[in-house]
Amino acid sequence: MARPKIALIGAGQIGGTLAHLAAIKELGDVVLFDIAEEGDIARGKGLDIAEAGPVAGIDVALKGTNDYADIAGADVCIVTAGVARKPGMSRDDLLGINLKVMKSVGEGIAAHAPDTFVICITNPLDAMVWALREFSGLPHNMVCGMAGVLDSARFRHFLAEEFDVSMRDVTAFVLGGHGDTMVPLARYSTVAGIPLPDLVEMGWTTQEKLDAIIQRTRDGGAEIVGLLKTGSAFYAPATSGIEMAEAYLKDQKRLLPCAAHVDGAYGLNGTYVGVPTIIGAGGIERVVEIKMNKEEQAMFDKSVDAVKGLVDACRGIDSSLG
């Protein structure tokens, strides 16, 4: 049986890390696509990782390209093409530039890999995944965005540090748009099944400390941008994207929060936003609707409104978007 094929559209910081992780995990053959003018980074990174193969014992093929024809037959496309944040920029500042990129990427995927499962990582995430779906015309269940896995991972990391427990025992739930309005849900986040509010009652932490961790989670991307100065996070985003790709390729039916097309659930009709989903061979097989209390629902609604505002801004920039 042929190995699965993974196309990485964008071979920058996240794209290169995705290629390395996909190769190390032997998820399939990897094609790196980029149009960078300052160097042939797609071919350079592809060759560099391939040359690690004999040492690491990796039996997959890597190819760099600037020709969309090379992504033909891809089972998964992970899209990071576009520009990333610099200090002082919000994710939303990237909208105009990255919308144009989504148009060319969407058309490239539609022409050469229409049966693929698309995971978008380009920011501002929820609006870009919506636009990418519109431009590509692929079925909604086959186009999603990575943000919730990363935001939840950040939350889990901070909680594991606070409680001094293994992060393997910490589960966390972050919903809503990937931005300042994201909704970390304490009630649905646990240490081995014990919800965070109970842990506060048990004296493991205080409500003030928990609130500070929630805010740090919301600001997690900006914290890394502030440290790196030259770009944004890439190791954790790439690791999160690979987890979603693996769930699809291996039909794992993982319950993962991701930016999915929500039509009916949560009172929404046709909005891309971060929700719990089941990812398996059918792509986004299900959107899981959880119960929220009034306060959580209000935060979620605010986040949905922020996403809708960005989608409207996209429509204002490109009149071909319906």
Note the residues at the interface with ligand A3D (CB under 6 A). 9-15, 34-36, 41, 80-85, 94, 98, 101, 104-105, 121-123, 125, 146-147, 150, 178, 231-234, 237
Angle of CA points 240, 245, 249, to nearest 5°: 150
Q: Strand order of the sheet with strand 170-171?
A: 170-171, 190-191, 194-195
Has 96 been labeled as part of a binding site? Answer: no
Q: Of 79 and 191, which has the nearer Cβ to ligand A3D?
A: 79
CB nearer to ligand A3D: pick between 27 and 244: 244
Tell me the C-alpha to C-alpha distance, in Å, between residue 302 and each of 125, 149, 172, 255: 16, 20, 20, 24
Q: What is the three-class DSSP state of 275? A: strand
Query: Inter-axis angle of helices 207-218 and 148-163, to 10 degrees?
Result: 150
Query: What number of other Cβ atoms are within 10 A of residue 17's Cβ?
Result: 21
- Judged on CB neighbours under 10 Å (0-12, 13-18, 19+), 291 is exposed
If the CB atoms of residues 30 and 191 are measured against ligand A3D, the closer one turns out to be: 30
Least separation in angstroms between CB 71 and ligand A3D: 11
14 is in an annotated binding site: yes
Cis peptide bond upstream of 139, omega within 30: no
Q: To the nearest whole angstrom, how small is the minimum distance from the Cβ of residue 315 to ligand A3D? A: 20
Give alpha helix (H) positions in 113-260: 125-136, 148-163, 196-201, 207-218, 220-228, 235-249
Q: How far is the CB of 178 from ligand A3D (least distance, A)?
A: 5
Kindly tell me which of 66 and 141 has the beta carbon lying closer to ligand A3D.
66
Task: State which residue, 98 or 189, has the beta carbon closest to ligand A3D.
Answer: 98
**Residue with the closest Cβ to ligand A3D?**
12
Shortest distance, position 207 Cβ to ligand A3D, whole Å = 27
Q: Is 13 annotated as a binding residue?
A: yes
- Does 293 carry a binding-site annotation? no
Selection from 14, 24, 29, 33 nearest residue 62 by Cα: 29
Is 15 annotated as contributing to ligand binding?
A: yes
Residue 206 tokens, joined? 């205080």
Is 85 flagged in the annotation as binding? yes
290 is in an annotated binding site: no
Q: Smallest distance from the beta carbon of 122 to ligand A3D, in angstroms?
A: 4
* Other C-beta atoms lying within 10 Å of the C-beta of residue 88: 9
Q: Which residues does the annotation mark as catalytic?
A: 178
Q: At what angle do helices 125-136 and 95-112 cross, to 10 degrees?
A: 40
Residue list for the binding site for NAD(+): 10-15, 34, 98, 121-123
Residue stretches of the annotated binding site: 10-15, 34, 85, 91, 98, 121-123, 154
Residues comprising the binding site for substrate?
Answer: 85, 91, 123, 154
